[in-house]
Structure 1
Amino acid sequence: MSTEYIQAAYDKVNQANLIMMQALDFSYTEAWHENLQNIANGVLQVIDGQPNPEIAQKIQALYDQVDWDKFSERERLQVLQLIFLEAERQDQLQANHQMTPAGIAMLLTYFASRLLQTRGQSKETPLKVFDPTVGFRVIIVIEANSYVNTRSSRLLPKFKTQKINSWCAA
């Protein structure tokens, strides 16, 4: 898929975030979270009449303009990363709340796959990996969506991964 589709998806989600921000007096990050939840569930959530029907219709129209099934997991991640960068800009997040760059996450995924191949221990003993800096779980999600997907539960025993409409949530 070309970058125009990724840009178009970003634009629609960004517009939905801006509308949600204004309608519910949310930060950009809160609006993004709400919209992401709505997209993943396939339904726009209205609580106590908020957002109002007019706003809900505008947001739903934006959701309907993006066919997420045509996006690969990598392309979805690119859209989400662009939205996260916008959230950093809009909300002026502090430095330690910034997203792990994809290159570093891919490098850590490679290391994890090598650990699983060599085991580092006997095959009878479970392999244990300690990550004290889980943060936004970007690395966990990238690892779970990578080619070592089937072994992610061994790498991350306290974080269960589950596929939801082709999205991995940790």
Structure 2
Amino acid sequence: MKLEGIEIIFNVLNETAEILQAELSCSYLEALAETGENLFHEDILQEELSELTTKRLKKIYSEIALNQFTNEQIRKGYQLAILKGMKDSVQPNHQMTPDSIGLFLGYLVNKFYENSKSLSLFDPAVGTGNLLTTILNHLTSKEIHSIGVDVDDLLIKLAYIGANLQRQPIQFFHQDSLQPLFIDPVDAVVCDLPVGYYPNDEGAQKYQLKAEDGHSYAHHLFIEQSIHHIKPGGYLFFLIPNNLFESTEAPKLHVYLQEHVHIQGILQLPLSMFKNQQAAKSIFILQKKSENVKAPKQVLFASLPTLSNQQSMGSILQKIDKWFAENKN
């Protein structure tokens, strides 16, 4: 992939976002959302700008045509601008899932749905949409109806604009995913689980995985909500903290999973990906129980090497192929 394409996209977004940030007295990320809207609509939508600023923006936008770039070039250029804006953001939930994980999750979704020409895909903590669009950009052989939900108004706006720029028709809902969701059951779920406590104790009451005392774990409730909204036999791909089964609430989670899903695999991500080893994560693959679905003969366990190590990754992919041949007939 040409770096020039990614750089051109980033430079246009960055320069115009900085102009809008100064003129509108807003944050860089808010200005990025504004300029993304302009770029998509090929127009300047902010009526309060000075004539000089409008002319400057028009000149910069006129030098770029989105249809000359691939979806991945647009996604990566936009992602770089978001990452720049996030450096100023202090919210810990504003963390983007690394590209290499998104690519690997795309590979896994494709593998588990090899025989499906179309599927519905749901991310209940979509954030800026980077994980979802990474997967969609690599599942081009399938017709995918995708849905993203997030409680953060700025993140969901950035996700919606990124999807428009990449011409990905994703349905977005701005709401708390742990409140009732008005969506049809989906074929598959992908989610980088938000880890922490859910502050809404009343809202947690309807969940089996609620805590008996104090706040419930949001990540446990997200797992339950996802299982509730997936079709029988559907697969769920979660990024989970490595210590998921070490908390005081873990026994309850274990019983719940045994009742509702078959565990398909746990793939531990390389520790080198995480600055803090306490924050290390694994990919957790589940299948919702259904009459015609059997548990795998054995669960797929693997520790992934550094994802850029092609030789080691090659042997892991062979291991996954072998597991599919033995367990997925």
Name the residue aligned to 2:31. 31
1:133 and 2:125 equivalent?
Answer: yes
| CA drift at 1:139 | 2.0
Match of 1:69 among 64, 67, 70: 67
1:21 partner letter: Q
Q: Distance in 2 between matches of 1:73 and 1:83?
A: 16
Structural mapping, 1:4-153, within 5 Å: 4-47=4-47, 50-89=48-87, 91-117=88-114, 131-148=123-140, 150-153=142-145
- State the structure with more CA Rg: 2
TM-score between the two structures when normalised by the length of structure 1: 0.76
Q: Distance in 2 between matches of 1:75 and 1:40?
A: 15
**In 2, are the aligned partners of 1:143 and 1:149 still within 8 Å (CA)?**
no
Alpha carbons of structure 1 residues 118 and 40: separation in structure 2 relative to 1, 3 Å: same
Name the residue aligned to 1:123. none
Q: Distance in 1 between matches of 2:91 and 2:169?
A: 24
Q: Distance in 2 between matches of 1:5 and 1:128?
A: 30
2:17 partner letter: N
Q: Distance in 2 between matches of 1:73 and 1:108?
A: 18
Q: Distance in 1 between matches of 2:22 and 2:81?
A: 17
Number of residue pairs the alignment of both structures matches: 156
**In 2, are the aligned partners of 1:17 and 1:32 still within 8 Å (CA)?**
yes
Alpha carbons of structure 1 residues 21 and 118: separation in structure 2 relative to 1, 3 Å: same
- Once the two structures are superposed, what CA deviation does each residue of 1:41-94 show, in whole Å capped at 9, x if it has no partner? 1111133xx1122111111211112232221111111211111111112x3242
- Once the two structures are superposed, what CA deviation does each residue of 1:106-153 show, in whole Å capped at 9, x if it has no partner? 11111111121267xxxxxx9786644332222222222223463322
Q: Which structure would you say has the larger RCO, counting Cα contacts within 8 Å and 6 or more residues apart?
A: 1
Question: Per residue, is there more strand in 1 or in 2?
Answer: 2
Q: Which runs of 5+ in 1 are unaligned?
A: 120-125
**In 1, are the aligned partners of 2:120 and 2:144 still within 8 Å (CA)?**
no
Q: Distance in 1 between matches of 2:119 and 2:69?
A: 34
| CA drift at 1:5 | 4.2
| CA drift at 1:23 | 0.5
TM-score between the two structures when normalised by the length of structure 2: 0.42
Q: Distance in 2 between matches of 1:149 and 1:109?
A: 12
Alpha carbons of structure 1 residues 149 and 133: separation in structure 2 relative to 1, 3 Å: farther
**In 2, are the aligned partners of 1:9 and 1:79 still within 8 Å (CA)?**
yes
Q: Distance in 1 between matches of 2:67 and 2:143?
A: 25
2:96 partner letter: M
Structural mapping, 1:147-162, within 5 Å: 147-148=139-140, 150-153=142-145, 156=146, 158-159=147-148
**In 2, are the aligned partners of 1:13 and 1:62 still within 8 Å (CA)?**
no
